[in-house]
Amino acid sequence: MTSISVLSVVSEIYPLIKTGGLADVAGSLPAFLKPEGIAITSLVPGYRAVLSKIGDAVPIHVFPDLFGGPARLLRAQVGPLDLLVIDAPHLYDRPGTPYLDPEGENWPDNAIRFAALSAVGAAIGLGEVAAYCPDVVHAHDWQAGLTPAYLHYRGNGRTRAATIMTIHNLAFQGQYPPDLLPVLGLPPEAMAVNGVEYYGGIGYLKAGLQFADRITTVSPKYAEEICTLEGGMGLGSLLRDRIGDLQGILNGIDESVWDPSEDKLIAAKFDRLHIKPRRINKLSLQRRVGLREDTDVLLMGLISRLTWQKGIDILLDALPLILGTGAQVAIIGQGERAMERAVGDAVTAYPGRVGCVIGYDEELGHLLQAGADALLLPSRFEPCGLTQLYALRYGCVPVVARVGGLSDTVIDANEMARAEGIGTGIQFHPPTVEMLESAALRVAALWKKPALWRRIQRNGMRTDVSWRRSARLYAELYRELTGAQRAVEPEALRA
């Protein structure tokens, strides 16, 4: 099998640095591509958290002036991850998150910080780093969006790597003032509709979509939605023009990290055939979030950014009916301050029946999946979603709005699906208070039929939510871009 080298340009990667699902995807996909003959090296900024975890890294290149200061490119390996880390203290050595300062505000120089990430990715894709020359440069989200543009404008006819731009969430586009153009090192002609110009400013994600050889997003349904006027969020026309280059490939999860039979972060391990220990996790979760401890009550959970996109207001408005079924609700997350306050008000209004933890840590995230009976995802739009995949794996029945990847990954347990033994959750549409209330009533009715509920749980737990199928699709895309052919396996070795 021909080996293909791919540089993944990404702003966060688990387990080094994580603020959301992008990090999980970037950290888990490479291992599943190795059997396909795809070698992924991930380029990430050298945040404090990253530098503290990479150990003895080897400098392989020096940038004398990377947007205002010197920088080194370090090669490192953390577990199965092959890494290139940009050691640029003037850009990345600071407190806070990758994107926000300690007060929760965007870093004022984010435009420069992530232009630097893209510029280094482009330099590598142009062969300017002697120690590593990839066949494909794969940029993720707006933070890496300028990578294909830099490759285009700085190529000067040189051979360059093929490029892919992946949209993880079209709502975050990276838009900056036009007077930054010379600061970013882009030529005047780039400020055009067929360049990086976007509604009079500079669009980082728009630039990636304009110049990448191929575009992917994280579910087939979301690929359809972003080509519409509403779902395209200002970029629908460009995406429609490039429909032949756009592909939706579902996200997967690392089943070695999310495995209830081996999970050290939960109170009691269990599997599809031995599901009763979930009750121990339920009690532990109720205790952690301030709910009355009772394994016989239906416990619905939500773990999410607390934002309009995620439909938190829809859930809060539906709470009276949900609680009227006798259910409890556990909420874990952080986000918009108004949403955080509203969740706190609900806890005060319904003590022992609504519990919350503002913030997030991995242990509590695993415990919610292992202890809640149902997972609520009332998102107004959802590119793919990972929490419903974790939920399926852990026997936590997902209750999802029929949008994006939620639609692609959860099979509604309607009467026909139950008859065929394939239902894995509950879908509702549109994402409104009334339809969430209707879904909650369905969940409450199913919960009162323990044998049926167990079948739905077990259907979910045997669903393949790994990267295996999607890794093959990515590998096919990489081979298509590079012209590589997959070796024909001997008949005896075929699955």
Query: Other C-beta atoms within 10 Å of 329: how many?
Result: 29
CATH class belonging to 4-252+468-482: alpha beta
User: So what's the pLDDT on residue 487?
Assistant: 41
pLDDT of residue 2: 60
CATH 3.40.50.2000 is right for the domain spanning 278-461:
yes
Q: Predicted confidence band at 361 (pLDDT cuts at 50, 70, 90)?
A: confident
pLDDT at 393 exceeding the cut of 70: yes
User: Which residues have C-beta within 8 Å of that of residue 80, sequence separation ≥ 6?
Assistant: 30, 31, 34
pLDDT digits (tens, 9 = 90+) for 20-45: 889 999 999 999 999 999 999 999 99
The partner residues of 437 in beta bridges, in order of sequence, read none
Examine the pLDDT at 79 and tell me if it is beyond 60: yes
Return the pLDDT at 1. Answer: 53
Buried b (16+ CB within 10 A) or exposed e, 296-324: ebbbbbbbbbbbbebbbbbbbbbbebbbe
3-state secondary structure of 383: coil
Q: How far apart are the C-alpha atoms of 298 and 483, rounded to whole Å?
A: 53
pLDDT in tens, 329-348: 999 999 999 999 999 999 99
What percent of the chain has pLDDT above 90? Answer: 94
Q: How far apart are CA 207 and CA 193, in angstroms?
A: 10
- Please give the pLDDT value at position 484: 74
Cβ 141 vs Cβ 109: under 8 Å: no
Predicted local confidence at residue 20, as pLDDT: 87
Distance CA 448, CA 19 (A): 37
The reported pLDDT for the residue numbered 485 is 54
For the chain, the maximum distance between any two Cα atoms, rounded to a whole number of angstroms, is: 68
In three-state secondary structure terms, 88 is: coil
- Is-contact 391 260, C-beta < 8 A? no
Contacts of 150 by beta carbon, 8 Å cutoff, 6+ apart:
118, 119, 121, 122, 123, 185, 186
Report, in this order, helix, strand and coil percent for the chain, each rounded to 5. Answer: 40, 20, 40
Three-state SS for 71?
A: strand
Tell me what pLDDT residue 360 has. Answer: 82
Which of 430, 389, 384, 397 lies closest to 301 in space, CA to CA? Answer: 397
Residue span(s) of the chain under CATH 3.40.50.2000 come to 4-252+468-482, 278-461
Confidence of residue 158 (pLDDT cuts 50, 70, 90): confident
Write out the H or E segment, with its range, that includes residue 164.
strand 162-167
DSSP secondary structure of 320-338: HHHHHTT-EEEEEEEE-HH
**Other CB atoms closer than 10 Å to residue 270's CB: what's the count?**
21
Q: pTM of the entire structure? A: 0.92
Per-residue pLDDT tens digits for 287-329:
999 999 999 999 999 999 999 999 999 999 999 999 999 999 9
pLDDT in tens, 84-105: 999 999 999 999 999 999 988 9
Name residues whose C-beta falls within 8 Å of residue 490's C-beta, 6 or more positions apart in sequence: none
Higher pLDDT: 19 or 140? It is 140
Token pair of 476 as six digits? 């096919």
Instruction: Confirm if 102 and 150 have CB atoms less than 8 A apart.
Output: no
Pairwise CA distance, residues 368 & 2, whole Å: 42
Q: What is the predicted pLDDT for the residue at 46?
A: 98
Q: Considering only 172-186, 223-237, 342-356, 474-488, which range has the smallest mean pLDDT?
A: 474-488
Mean pLDDT, the chain, rounded, equals: 95
Pull the structure tokens for residue 462: 């045997």
Sequence letter at residue 495: A
Query: Cβ neighbours of residue 23 under 8 Å, at least 6 residues apart?
Result: 12, 13, 14, 17
Tens digits of residue pLDDT in 222-258: 999 999 999 999 999 999 999 999 999 999 999 999 9
The pLDDT assigned to 494 comes to: 34
* Residue 33: CA count within 13 A, CB half-sphere: 30
Q: Quick check: 409 and 222 in contact, CB under 8 A?
A: no
The length of the chain, given as a count of residues: 495
On the question of pLDDT at 413 being above 50, the answer is yes
